Amino acid sequence: MPNLSNFRIIIFFLTSLLLLNSCEGMPGGDARKNPPDPRERVKKNLEEGRGFRLGDALKGNTGKGGDFMFASANELWRASLDTLDFMPLASVNYSGGIIITDWYSDDNNINESVKISIRFLTNEVRADALDIKVFYKKCNQQTNCKISQKTGSLTAELKKEILSKAAVYKKQKKEKNFKPYTGTGGKAN
């Protein structure tokens, strides 16, 4: 019969191994990006709006705890919708991370249409966060159409426009959330 204390030790080590392994991808775990002093980390987090201030909770302003994160809070999502606002949208699914426009053509050439699909690979504002596909439809008559996917300047221009708008939105959000840390529980001296 196995010893109960040996069994507990094995369970402890397995649990520890799982917990340590799961912390690897946690945000904020990079020591190069965070100050080593705990007071400085608290100050940085509170200034960036990622903290809890007891004074705000007592006033009824719970900060992020009571707010729901809607699609408008995601900079890439907002920038994509703003960039495509001239086109009719066929399907938009924030939780699925995809925007698909309807076929669009300008008044100059009715026989050619474009359709754009944007798939979000991450919420971070970076170059590989978006998978953009552009489809062209060229029709000789109303019923005789050819659809093809094209890569090229339009895809690159869309990605550049979306990323630049998202960077501006992210900067504005960071500036809006910034509250200087006074170390006095939210009260200025």
Annotated domain spans of the chain? 38-67, 71-174
Region 131-153: what's the mean pLDDT? 86
Region 20-25: what's the mean pLDDT? 52
The reported pLDDT for the residue numbered 80 is 93
Crossing angle for the helix pair 75-83 and 153-177, to the nearest 10 degrees: 130
CA nearest 120: which of 67, 71, 68, 52? 71
The reported pLDDT for the residue numbered 66 is 43
**CB count, 10 Å around CB of 163?**
20
Domain 71-174: which CATH number of 1.20.1740, 1.10.10, 1.20.140, 3.30.530: 3.30.530
In degrees, rounded to 5, the angle at the alpha carbon of residue 89 between the alpha carbons of residues 121 and 145 is 100
